[in-house]
Amino acid sequence: MIDSKIEDALNQQIELEARSSHFYLAMASWAENHGLNGTAEFLYRHSDEERMHMLKLVRFVNERGGKAVIPALDSPKSDFSGLQTIFSTLLEHETNVTQSINEVVDLCLSRKDYTTHNFMQWYVAEQIEEEALARNILDKLALIGSDKGGLYLFDRDLEQLQPEA
């Protein structure tokens, strides 16, 4: 049976992953409405990945004899001033997710729950990839600046770029 403190922490993580999915969905929709179809595709996929992160946690909590809580979600911010804002917001959000995962890992160690600790290592590795990807995208945007041709190519390239699963 799962420790109740660990169960609570995992349920908080479920909510955070669900909010991430919702948030990136709002970003994808904004991009689609601004003619940035490649960026929209990337963000729609990213939103799906976050739902998968949530689902993996839901199933783990239930398999361990706990009770996964499916959270209510507020409407996310849906208006953005541009791509720079989208991706810096995304990076900031992912940094918070990393911090939250690290706290779950800490708790697993202090409660001697090595099974959950092992399970969470997938999320630790995933966060390294996600943060690196967001930083890489921001570097590209900084290089492009206000160059419209560069922005066109950036958007086209993003369509092919896979967020890590």
Interface residue list for ligand FEO (CB under 6 A): 17, 20, 50, 53, 94, 97, 130
How far apart are CB 102 and ligand FEO at their closest, in Å?
13
* Backbone conformation region of residue 44, classed left if phi is above 0, alpha if psi is from -120 to 50, else beta: alpha
Q: Which is nearer to ligand FEO, 94 or 155 (CB)?
A: 94
How far apart are CB 16 and ligand FEO at their closest, in Å?
8
How far apart are CB 5 and ligand FEO at their closest, in Å?
21
Q: Which is nearer to ligand FEO, 7 or 130 (CB)?
A: 130
Q: Which is nearer to ligand FEO, 122 or 156 (CB)?
A: 122
Task: List Cα–Cα distances, 34 to 11, 80, 104, 159, in angstroms.
Answer: 35, 10, 38, 15
Q: Which residues contact 52 (CB under 8 A, 6 or more apart)?
A: 165
Listed residue (71, 61, 59, 69) closest to 22, CA to CA: 71
How far apart are CB 27 and ligand FEO at their closest, in Å?
12
